[in-house]
Amino acid sequence: LEPEINLILTPNTQTNFSQGAYAKYKDIYYVNTEGYVVLPQLEKVYVKGYSLEQVRDTLEHQIRKFFNQISIDVRLAENYVTILGEVNKPGRYLIDFNDKINVFELIGMAGDLNYEANRSIIKLLRKNNDQIDVSYINLLDADILGSEYYYLLPNDIVYVEPLKEVFWDEKTMPFTSTLALMLSVTTSILVIIAYLK
């Protein structure tokens, strides 16, 4: 796994295990609140805080007690991220975390930011064991590409802050445009009258 997307398993993470040539025997298992995955015919395996690669190695070690030649494929099953605030389609999105996804891709899934979005203050809520870590992302900062928060993890919540001041909105824009046109026409008429005099 690439270091920046070496996902760490936490309680309630869904994992999908398949065993080499027996890949058709797939199933989904949860990491329980104590950090264990319980597999049929195997003792419970502690995986809390492990990367997918570490889980695979641990399971292979356990299974080789019964089978000499076997390979294990460990993938994340269905997991979600949530994006709220100043986006066009806020909501909870199903993500395939076996392929890395970054904050820009999530914003794209949510129909892009709206005109009230503050692009310099994107709040990221990420569960860390029993607590929630709050971090901030600045989409205008080129260094975001190297940030540990650029790639999303299962169950992340992204909140797009609004701008402190919005000078117009969708409701007032037609009125503003009409007013600007009327002022422009009035100014032109005054200039013409002044010229004729």
The Cα 38–Cα 176 span in angstroms is: 63
Query: In whole angstroms, what is the distance from residue 117 CA to residue 110 CA?
Result: 13
Q: Give a yes or no: residue 168 inside a domain.
A: no
Higher-confidence residue of 188 and 38: namely 38
Tell me the pLDDT tens digit for each residue of 9-45: 444 455 555 444 344 445 667 777 788 887 777 778 8
CA nearest neighbour of 93 among 71, 104, 78: 78
pLDDT at position 180 is: 54
Residue 94's pLDDT is 85
Residues 142 and 102 in one domain: yes
Q: Residue 87: inside a domain, yes or no? A: yes
The enclosing domain of 17 has a CATH number of: 3.30.1950.10
Q: What is the pLDDT of residues 145-158, one digit of tens each?
A: 999 899 998 889 99
Q: Is residue 167 part of a domain?
A: no
- Report the pLDDT value the prediction gives residue 3, as an integer from 0 to 100: 32
Based on the fold, state whether residues 46 and 99 are members of the same structural domain.
no
* Host domain of residue 139: 79-162
Q: So what's the pLDDT on residue 8? A: 43
pLDDT in tens, 99-140: 678 999 999 999 999 999 999 999 999 987 778 999 999 999
Amino acid residing at 37: V
Same domain, 151 and 181: no
Burial class (CB in 10 A: 0-12, 13-18, 19+), 89: exposed
Q: Are 119 and 136 in contact (CB under 8 A)?
A: no
Same structural domain, 19 and 53: yes
Looking at 34-169, which runs of residues are DSSP E strands?
36-37, 45-46, 72-76, 79-85, 91-95, 117-128, 131-137, 157-162
Q: In terms of pLDDT, which residue wins out, 34 or 69?
A: 34
Contact status, residue 53 vs residue 6, Cβ threshold 8 Å? yes
* Full-model pTM: 0.58
User: Which residue's structure tokens are 């989904």?
Assistant: 28
CATH number for the domain spanning 155: value is 3.10.560.10
pLDDT digits (tens, 9 = 90+) for 77-102: 667 899 999 999 999 998 876 667 89
**Domain identity same for 83 and 154:** yes
Task: Report, in this order, helix, strand and coil percent for the chain, each rounded to 5.
Answer: 25, 35, 40
What is the number of structural domains in the chain? 3
